[in-house]
Structure 1
């Protein structure tokens, strides 16, 4: 099997895992055909799977007239992959069709029986007018999520979010020294007003100048804001709750604060330790459950990026609509409330809490903070902390938080959806 066919085969395995087994891509990266690939091929397979998942609804619209009935799931995944390669990625039709037929024949007796269908259908797909592909609408969010977002933000906003999801996400970096202009000039990127550096065509991340030296780390511009809003001073005792994979820990450590990073997952915390070592930064890394852990002393500030539905990150994680369900949301809402209460208990009098979720749902943002303010009479919003460059005043929500959406900043490539609130705690 050629290198290109091995990449396609690994991408097919990822797609099938998402659409068939409802496994997140991140849970599949250490399994299957992907692990046998060289790093560059592994990255190509992941990109191919991500692009196909992002475009599945549009691929199905093109395939539907050429199929009398739905083929088996593995054959359908192959047709979708090949369609996206030809119509979205501009790959040569002859090579794509030939590779798809070869993969069908190598897929066992059942898949081999569909090799003729794969050949016939994809030849018709290859003749599709490019204008038809470009005119297809962005894929809609799942009904359960789309309905909730329509109620919260309205139809026009949801359609804009869906367009942002289809466009995907650029690569954002956080400079260790805080000099976004210098890093942007060095890498040929754009320095964003909030302090991040944006690259449109980055290639292999680990090959970029400054990666090995730890001069920067990958972090969406919106995800970089909670630590900038917390803004601890040198020597401040700071707790980063639910810290993995560690971008915010790195930011806090770079300020000179005394950082404790806590996460319940040992393997994920190992990534935090690795990132700290690469960047030459220090933090006390703790593997524990925040709901039962007891710190040795109170903290001046706590950053809580709570577990959530991650619906704000669909533009970079198009597998999420296939693996998330509404059934788990109620437990998440309850956990977030408990974590807020726990985080406040870790603060010294007058301490500050920044609460964040990468969610588009008000239940995981505005409603959580409104409820927390009612539960804790000594808690109050700190709107001045949200007054950072690049943030529009209209993004401030009624209870004093910051609401970010993927359709914001369309002229520079958007941002992840986030909710962030800065709170001060003076126990009554």
Structure 2
């Protein structure tokens, strides 16, 4: 059997096994699994794994349609081999003969499944596109619990739009310290309505102009909105809770704020410190629990970008759809509630709290804020005006909160953010 260290397709099968059987995040296992492959093979292996995960629902649907009886759960590796083979034929620009031959070679010659894999991949080449047209592709590519949740909150039409947008790979969004026109030209990027730059994804961002000089950082356009809700932060003291890896920290510091970056993870804060050093930004970095944090100085605002299910990031992290469950939403919801209550206690009168999550789940966004305002009369919602965020009225909901969807702005993370103010006399 081909070795992981020398075969990108074998490595992709191994990546799928670690994601789907061992429930590990794809982003965290890429380097250890692919470290011995050439740069070209690393790119292929990553594309195979991420594309398969992005289209996993329809790929499995096709496998089930073409088989007389279901594959045993015990032979998950054969299913993974079939999955990456189908992904190559239908979703990647790889010649079918090469995709079939090189994928079948992953199955041992004496295996009873080798002929079946060969036959299914050849049938996919002949009939796969036609079979796809018979399927509700966006729905098939969304785990049932997620689909039902989105339909219940957004309606069937918007749920289809969300799921369809999640099947497209994200481009590279960038936040710059200044002079966006200059950097748009140098980076061959477009300037979005909110001021972010967008360009095609790059295999090595460190080689792009301005990276080593600390002129910009990677940040999805949606992720740049919460920090903008503080308005002019020049000279103001802002606590950035759960700050790592530091995109919003950098945004606030680059705008002139005195930022206290707080996070519980020493490892993640090391990464934040490295990012701030590259960007040449001065930040007060502290490691600690946000629930128990007591500021030593008056805060003008708190940015709570809370831990969440990350279901808004499926364009970039398709594995998340298969690593999260309703139980995770409930557990995270309890943590988010505690963090919100703790943040409210740290605010002085007239200070602003911005709460955000990169989640499409209302339980982590809209419902959290509604419930907070019911139990905490010291806070009041401060609705967002479209002019504050580059005129992006489509991302503002009826209550004045931010609700970004993956189909907005030509593609962005699903994000929720609300701005709250501490009432005087509280």
The TM-score, its normalising length taken from structure 1, stands at 0.90
Q: Report deviation, 1:348.
A: 2.9
Secondary structure of the residue aligned to 2:50 is helix
1:418 aligns with 2:415: yes
Counterpart in the other structure of 2:317: 317
Question: Contact conserved, 2:303 with 2:354, CA < 8 A, in 1?
Answer: yes
> 1:5–1:103: 8 Å Cα contact kept in structure 2?
no
**Contact 2:193–2:392 (Cα < 8 Å) also in 1:** no
Q: Indicate the residue corresponding to 2:84 in structure 1.
A: 81
Supply the distance in 2 between the matched residues of 1:398 and 1:125 (Cα, whole angstroms): 46
1:291 shift after superposition: 1.1
1:305 corresponding residue in structure 2: 305
Counterpart-to-counterpart distance in 2, 1:267 and 1:333: 24
Partner of 2:120: 121
Runs of 4+ in 1 over 6 A off after TM superposition: 1-4
Q: Contact 2:352/2:422 (CA < 8 Å) preserved in 1? A: yes
Matches within 5 A, 1:52-91: 52-69=52-69, 70=71, 72-91=75-94
Q: Distance in 2 between matches of 1:294 and 1:30?
A: 38
Shift of 1:287: 1.6
Aligned pair count reads 419
| Residue 272 in structure 1 maps to residue 275 in structure 2 | no
| TM-superposed deviation, 1:303 | 0.6
Alpha-carbon deviation of 1:2?
Answer: 9.2
Residues 1:181 and 1:134: Cα distance change in structure 2 (over 3 Å): farther
Q: Could you tell me how far apart the structure 2 residues matched to 1:162 and 1:171 are?
A: 20
Residue in 2 aligned with 1:144?
145
Contact 1:315 1:416 in 2 (8 A): yes
Q: Structure 2 CA distance, aligned partners of 1:3 and 1:326?
A: 34
Query: In terms of mean alpha carbon deviation, does 164-173 or 115-124 score higher?
Result: 115-124
Deviations 1:287-325 (A, max 9, x none): 211112222223111111011121111222111121111
Cα shift readout 1:51-96 (whole Å, capped 9, x = no counterpart): 1101122223333344333161111111110111122112022222
Cα offset, 1:221, TM superposition: 0.4
Q: Which residue of 2 aligns with 1:99?
A: 102
**Where in structure 2 are there 5+ consecutive unaligned residues?**
none
Following superposition, the deviation at residue 26 of structure 1 comes to 3.1
- Report Cα offsets for 1:94-146 as digits up to 9, x if no partner: 2222222332239xx8xx44333323322332334646557752234222222
Q: Evaluate the alpha carbon distance shift between residue 164 and residue 90 of structure 1 in structure 2; reply closer, same or farther with a 3 A threshold.
A: same
- The match for 2:29 is 28
The residue correspondences of 1:129-168 to structure 2 (distance < 5 A) are 130=129, 133=132, 136=135, 137-138=137-138, 139-168=140-169
Q: 8 Å contact 2:58–2:141 — kept in the other structure?
A: no
CA–CA distance in structure 2, aligned partners of residues 216 and 38 of structure 1 = 28
Q: Which string of whole-angstrom CA distances, capped at 9 and with x for unpartnered residues, describes residues 337-391 of structure 1? A: 2111211222232211111111112221122212222333232222256632444
Q: Per-residue deviation at 1:233? A: 2.4
1:28-427 counterparts in 2 under 5 A? Answer: 28-31=29-32, 33-38=33-38, 41-69=41-69, 70=71, 72-105=75-108, 112-128=111-127, 130=129, 133=132, 136=135, 137-138=137-138, 139-177=140-178, 179-384=179-384, 387-393=387-393, 395-409=395-409, 412=410, 414-426=411-423, 427=425
SS of the residue aligned with 2:243? coil
- On the 8 A contact 1:369/1:399 being kept in 2, the answer is no
Q: Structure 1 stretch 391-400 or stretch 418-427: which is displaced more? A: 391-400
**CA gap 1:263/1:157 in 2 versus in 1, 3 angstroms:** same
**Residue 15, structure 1, aligned to residue 12, structure 2:** no
CA contact (8 A) 1:385 1:422 kept: no
Contact 2:307–2:332 (Cα < 8 Å) also in 1: yes
Deviates more, 1:38-47 or 1:337-346: 38-47
Contact kept in structure 1, 2:55 and 2:141, CA below 8 Å: no
Shift of the alpha carbon at 1:22? 2.4
Gaps of 5+ in 1: none
Q: Shift of residue 176 of structure 1? A: 1.8
